[in-house]
Amino acid sequence: MKRIVLLGSTGSIGQSTLKVVADLPDRLQLVGLAAGGGNLDELARQTREYRPAAACVFDRSKLPALREKVGNATRLLAGEEGLVELAMLPEADIVLIAIVGTAGLRPALAAIEAGKDLAVASKEILVMAGEAVTSAAKRQGVRILPVDSEHNAIWQCLDGKPRHEVRNLWLTASGGPFRKKPQAEFAKITLQEALQHPTWSMGNKITLDSATLMNKGLEMIEARWLFDIEMARVRVVVHPQSIVHSFVEFVDGSLLAQLCEPNMRLPIQYALTYPERLANTLPAADFMKMSRLEFEMPDHDRFPALGLARAAGERGGTAPAVFNAANEVAVARFVKGEIRFPDIWGIVEHVLAKHRVVEHADLGQILEADRWARAASAAWKG
């Protein structure tokens, strides 16, 4: 039995995780749940149904309402301290971070210090603080298990093979809804159009990041840290069907891939049950749906995100944290209607160019760079 703390339980990954747990009740148990508080009814419903040892709402003002909805049977926590306490829960074996953005960073570091394995969906925390998170995990002897489908695929294909046997890691990208859109039309893209993902159903932030290809840029840096490999060997290929979830190209020319329907339940389950594979209720592979798998090289002129990510990842230090924070603010500004779609890249490029990178930054320096980049991105006027 694996005992799980789930941070971000009401979101897209959170809900898929609950389905995985419901599917494997003899092997997986939820001992902690946390969410932001935007959907309090759902957090309360989950708490009543799964009866975890503790539940946490990030927004403190919602704590009394949550208490009223769940009664006195469950210990309730709030705020960042609540997330950190949950991440260190003595009852837990593994902590799954599925909080959008970087609010999961402190809880992730706390979980590692408490000796818990970490399953990471929140790529933003590895982009922001990949060096700090992976070195802490190494020191504490805990695992970092990738939930992001591409990284989960690479992890399955690598299967413990050493880095020197790898020529390249190939992340697949759907290409998003604007794969074929002429550049001249980018300035007119609406929020509604950008939220139409061709193959995956996900939270709004990652859906918008998929439309700009910033998601793949974040994933390049995520891969660099998860697999301890230099950026030059992290490559991207566009694959519109999202059936091949990524490839490992080995030095002998062999290419291994992991394939399945685009459904996050599979990578989540593999991360939670690792090293075992367990039978589940997911539909079996349908070869008719796989009869046409296409691949093409990304268009760097129309989609500058990949080049920006590569530059930030190669620069290292605080550059990836600035890349991530600038993107987060730019996406929020696009949602509010303050900027046009291509300005998202414009802001990231501008803020990265202005940043003075700190090498081998400690956590305080990373958080300072994050704050600086958010302010600079909010002030950008074009």
What residue ranges bind ligand NAD (CB under 6 A)? 7-14, 34-36, 38, 58, 83, 98-100, 103, 121-124, 148, 200, 202-203, 206, 264
Residue 217 beta carbon to ligand NAD: minimum distance, rounded to whole angstroms = 12
SS3 29: strand
Task: Residue count of the chain, please give it.
Answer: 382
Q: Is 85 in the site for Mg ion (CB under 5 A)?
A: no
Looking at the Cβ atoms of 60 and 167, the one nearer to ligand NAD is: 60
Nearer to Mg ion, 148 or 343 (CB): 148
CB of 85 to ligand NAD, least distance (A): 13
Q: Which residues 228-287 are close enough to bind Mg ion by CB under 5 A?
A: none
Q: Which is nearer to Mg ion, 148 or 249 (CB)?
A: 148
Q: What are phi and psi of 169, to 5 degrees?
A: -100, 130
User: Which of Mg ion, ligand NAD, none does residue 313 bind (CB under 5 to 8 Å by kind)?
Assistant: none
Q: Which is nearer to ligand NAD, 102 or 134 (CB)?
A: 102
Binding status of residue 148 toward Mg ion by CB under 5 A: yes
- 124 near Mg ion, rule: CB under 5 A: no
The closest residue (CB) to ligand NAD is 11
- Nearest distance in Å: CB 150, Mg ion: 5
Can you tell me the distance from the alpha carbon of 96 to that of 118, in angstroms, rounded to the nearest whole number? Answer: 6
* 307 in Cβ contact with 214 (< 8 Å): no
CB of 11 to ligand NAD, least distance (A): 2
Q: Could you give the 3-state DSSP secondary structure of residue 170?
A: strand
Piece of the chain touching Mg ion by CB under 5 A; list 1-9, 140-148, 160-168, 333-341: 140-148
Distance CA 54, CA 289 (A): 42
Q: Is there a contact between 109 and 13 (Cβ–Cβ < 8 Å)?
A: no
Nearest-CB residue for Mg ion: 148
Token pair recorded at residue 30: 């939820």
For residue 254, the minimal CB distance to ligand NAD (Å) is: 27
248 vs 264 by CB, closer to ligand NAD: 264
Quick one: 63 or 171, whose CB is closer to Mg ion? 171
What's the CA gap between 43 and 128, in Å, rounded? Answer: 28
Pseudo-torsion of CA 324, 330, 332, 336, nearest 10°?
180
Choosing among ligand NAD, Mg ion, none, which partner's interface includes residue 122 (Cβ < 5 to 8 Å by kind)?
ligand NAD
Query: What CA–CA distance (Å, rounded) separates 258 from 68?
Result: 46
- For residue 32, the Cα-to-chain-centroid distance in whole angstroms is 20
Residue 121: CB partners within 8 Å, gap ≥ 6?
A: 8, 13, 96, 97, 98, 147, 148, 268
* Identity of the residue, 9 or 318, whose beta carbon is nearer to ligand NAD in the bound complex: 9
C-alpha distances (whole Å) from 306 to each of 72, 101, 116, 216, 312 are 49, 19, 33, 7, 10
Work out how close the CB of 123 gets to ligand NAD at its nearest, in angstroms, rounded to a whole number: 5
| Contact positions vs Mg ion (CB under 5 A) | 148-150
